[in-house]
Every structure is written in structure tokens, then in C-alpha cells.
Amino acid sequence: MNLDNLYQEVILDHYKHPQHKGLSEKFDAQVHHVNPSCGDEITLNVNLADSTISSLTWDGVGCSISQASVSIMSDLLIGKSLDEAQVIFDSFIELMQSKGALVADESILEDAVALAGVSKYPARIKCALLGWMAYKDASVQAQK
């Protein structure tokens, strides 16, 4: 099995078995982001406790890339401090902007490296980033 197939499998697994899907009743901030070019929608709730992401839940519809990406992200960010989450966020943005030229840092991005191939397809980058932009927006609002 080559790496692309393995990555496909990680994405499909998150798409079929989304992590942390289902919105929490309580939240410090809730945002709703859409990607009109593909029809993806994500609502995301975040709770912070002592500058740590104590809960991150979401609900959404859309393509496998958008839904898998937010599932992978929620797995990665829950329990992290805002500073740690920023490092992961920045690393993922850099990867998505790399046009396939960057080797993803698995020690930081874990399963999110499976989305590295998306950076070669400009039309799909917004799908992969939708959940991440929603997190960024929610985390800023939650700190106000």
C-alpha cells in the first residue's frame, strides 16, 4: 500500500466515523462557517478552561475532505493549551499553502498529515481549512 492509499484510508475513516461530532450543550463560543464553493457547512463549539481547550465539538455536512479534516482537528486539539493549538494550527496552514512541496511534520500534525495531498488541489484547500478557520474564530471569541 502506498502512502496516498494510506492517507485516503485515514480520511475515509474519519469521514465514516467522525470524532467529537455532536454539539455540546454548553459552550464559551459557537461559530458557523460555510464554504459556498463546495457546499460544506460546519458549526463548532469550543470550551476553554485555564487557557486549555477543554471541549471542542462540531456538527456539519459536506464533502469527505471538510468533514474528515474537522474530525482530525478536534482529536488533535482537545486537551491542548491555546499556545500548543496555535503551533498545530500554524503548521497545518503552512502545509495547506505549500502546494504539495512541504513534508508534513507528523510529530505536530499526527493524522492531519493525511491531508497533505489536498494542498496540491487549490479548489479543495478551502474544504480542508473550513473546520480550522471555524476553530480559530471560536477560540478568539471564547477569550473575550
**Residue at grid coordinates 504539495:** 100
**Judged by CB, which is closer to Zn ion: 47, or 69?**
69
CA 14 to chain centre: 11
Does 19 engage in binding with Zn ion (CB under 5 A)?
A: no
Pairing of strands 40-49, 29-35: antiparallel
- Residues numbered 112-131 forming contacts with Zn ion, rule: CB under 5 A: 127
Strands (E), 52-133: 52-61
**Judged by CB, which is closer to Zn ion: 11, or 78?**
11
Query: Do 45 and 59 contact (CB within 8 A), yes or no?
Result: no
- Residues numbered 50-79 forming contacts with Zn ion, rule: CB under 5 A: 63, 66
In whole angstroms, how close is the CB of 35 to Zn ion at the nearest point? 6
Give the footprint of Zn ion on this chain (CB under 5 A). 38, 40, 63, 66, 127
